[in-house]
Every structure is written in C-alpha cells, then in structure tokens.
C-alpha cells in the first residue's frame, strides 16, 4: 500500500484529492501529524494540533453509482468505533451520519469528498480526524464545548500508531465486505452503535429545520425521521441535533 506521511499539511483531504487526480491507486493513505487548515463537514474546520490526534485520508476507487457513496462514510465511522473499542476499551456511539461520540461529545469526524462522471464514482477521498491525546485544556474554547478526546475521557494516553493500525485493518476488512456483500451487515453494525434512535431530534437540512423522531437508517444509509405529521422522511444529507 502507498503511504504518504507528512509532518504538516493544510489538509490531508486536499492532498489526497490532488494525488487522486494524478491517478493514485485505491488504498493510498495520506497521514499528517498536524493540519493547519483541517476541514470538516458543512464548511466547518477541524482542529488538528501536532502530535495529539490522528488525521488521515484514504483514496478509494469503488466501481459504484454515486448514490451508494454515502455508505462509505458510515463504513468509516463503524471501523473507527471497532478500533476504539478494541484498542482503547471505550464504547463510542455514532451520530448520523458519521460523528463518533464519547459521552455525548465529539471524538471523531469523517469528511468524504468525491469525484464522479456520468453518475459513476471516479474516486472518493475519505478523511477522518480522531482526537486522541489532547488534554481537556488543549481544545480552544468553542471547540471544548462540543469536542472530547480519548485522553480527556479516560485519563489514559493511547498509542496513536496502534490505534491507527487497528483502524486501517477494520476499515479494509469492512470495505472489502461492503464491496462484495453490500451494506446490510454494516447497516446493523452502524445501528448497534447509533445515538438518538427512537428519540426526538432536530433536523437541520439547508434552510429547513424541523423536529422529528429518529427511527433508523434505510438500506441506502439515509436517516429515517418521522415528522410531526406522522410522515417518515428520508435524509440523505444535512445534520441532526440530539438536543431538540
Ligand atoms: C466533520 O466531522 O465535520 C468531519 C471532520 C473531518 C476531519 C478530517 S481530519 C483528516 C481529513 N482532512 C481534513 O481536512 N478533514 C478530514
């Protein structure tokens, strides 16, 4: 496998996209000790101080239609959870689509970006950031309200190389299973860890905000939320808040 390791990058997703454009192979990994312009979903940033977290992006070239791409992001969050459970002994939960939470605070996020032609995926870059050894005081004020790290939660430092190696193993196994067997097993592994299912959530989709009851995800990975009128609605992008 091709690894690209950097002491510092603006964003591993950005570098991965450049490499993918130049033809980098499926499975290429871009890893950085620090990001100076780490990017998150919905135009947000990802705080990426040196030496404390894991910031990486994987290039994938699955031969799939565009509509299946969101499943890869769910896959990444399941693989992260399995690695955290195995290496750090914690029980994380997942907030749709792919926030990995510990005690309700965000530990990990994934930003998937893609390039497609004629409704077929050309390449995907799946970028994940995990807060590992940050102390509670290492997060800037606004971030501290919503974010946590393994160390801030458990009081124990974790060997990032061990965690990363486990994560790549789970990710590769889950990805191969998904390619050959489809989404069903991953869907139940995702649901086993899902936060907020069966509870009232606030849905934020573009300019629209509404309250409903989260009921699961469907066979595409879309979130199912029952609205006030009793209608079951499918969410393929956007955000949910567990504090309605
Ligand atoms: C989110 O929860 O909003 C997604 C955060 C994704 C952060 C990771 S860190 C590695 C990769 N490079 C980036 O610039 N972003 C992703």
Same domain, 188 and 210: no
**Burial grade of 210 (CB within 10 A; 0-12, 13-18, 19 or more):** middle
* Tens of pLDDT, residues 112-141: 999 999 889 999 999 999 999 999 889 998
CA of 129, closest atom in ligand 1? 9
Per-residue pLDDT at 21:
97
Does ipTM exceed 0.85?
yes
* Tens of pLDDT, residues 1-60: 799 999 999 999 999 999 999 999 999 999 999 999 999 998 899 999 999 999 999 999
More confident residue, 157 or 142: 157
Question: In whole angstroms, how far apart are CA 139 and each of 52, 145, 150, 156?
Answer: 11, 9, 13, 17
Instruction: Give 107's pLDDT tier (boundaries 50, 70, 90).
Output: very high
Domain count for the chain: 2
Same domain, 172 and 54: yes
Q: Which residues line ligand 1 (CB under 6 A)?
A: 11-13, 35, 38-41, 44, 46, 55-57, 99, 109-111, 127-129
* Tens of pLDDT, residues 168-210: 999 999 999 999 999 999 999 999 999 999 999 999 988 889 9
Dist. CA 127 → ligand 1 center (Å):
5
* Tens of pLDDT, residues 56-78: 999 999 999 999 999 999 999 99
Residues 196 and 217: beta-carbon distance below 8 Å: no
CA of 98, closest atom in ligand 1? 2
Same domain, 186 and 206: no
Q: 164 lies in which domain range?
A: 3-192
Verify cis geometry, omega within 30 degrees of 0, for the bond prior to 2. no
Same domain, 38 and 158: yes
Per-residue pLDDT at 1:
77
Same domain, 151 and 227: no
Dist. CA 111 → ligand 1 center (Å):
5
CATH of the domain at 213: 2.30.30.100
Same domain, 139 and 187: yes
Same domain, 133 and 114: yes
Same domain, 122 and 228: no
The residue to mutate among 5, 8, 13, 95, having the most atoms of ligand 1 within 8 angstroms of its beta carbon, is 13
Same domain, 42 and 130: yes
Pick the last residue of a domain from 192, 211, 232.
192
Per-residue pLDDT at 238:
86
Q: How many whole angstroms separate alpha carbon 62 and alpha carbon 29? A: 15
Residue 17, H or E segment:
helix 12-21
Per-residue pLDDT at 231:
97
Dist. CA 199 → ligand 1 center (Å):
27
Same domain, 65 and 163: yes
CATH of the domain at 47: 3.30.930.10
Residue closest by Cα to atom 16 of ligand 1: 127
Per-residue pLDDT at 211:
96
Same domain, 133 and 205: no
Residue 25: CA count within 13 A, CB half-sphere: 5
Same domain, 229 and 117: no
Dist. CA 230 → ligand 1 center (Å):
35
């Amino acid at each position: 496998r091709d690894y690209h390791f950097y002491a510092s990058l603006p964003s591993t997703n950005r570098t991965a996209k450049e490499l993918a454009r130049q033809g980098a192979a499926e499975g290429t990994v871009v890893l950085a000790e620090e990001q100076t312009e780490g990017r998150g979903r919905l135009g947000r940033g990802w705080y990426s101080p040196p030496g404390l977290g894991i910031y990486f992006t994987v290039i994938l070239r699955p031969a799939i239609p565009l509509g299946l791409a969101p499943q890869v992001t769910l896959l990444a969050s399941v693989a992260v959870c399995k690695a955290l459970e195995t290496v750090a002994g914690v029980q994380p939960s997942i907030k749709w689509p792919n926030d990995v939470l510990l005690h309700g605070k965000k530990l990990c996020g994934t930003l998937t970006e893609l390039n497609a032609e004629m409704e077929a995926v050309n390449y995907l870059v799946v970028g994940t950031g995990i807060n590992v050894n940050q102390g509670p005081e290492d997060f800037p004020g606004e971030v501290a309200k919503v974010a946590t790290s393994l160390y801030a939660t458990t009081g124990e430092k974790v060997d990032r190389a061990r965690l990363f190696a486990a994560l790549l193993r789970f990710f590769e196994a889950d990805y191969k299973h998904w390619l050959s067997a489809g989404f069903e097993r991953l869907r139940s592994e995702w649901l086993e860890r899902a936060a907020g299912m069966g509870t009232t959530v606030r849905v934020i989709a573009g300019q629209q905000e509404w309250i409903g009851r989260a009921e699961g995800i469907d066979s595409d990975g879309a979130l199912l939320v029952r609205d006030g009128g009793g209608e079951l609605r499918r969410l393929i992008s956007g955000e949910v808040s567990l504090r309605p």
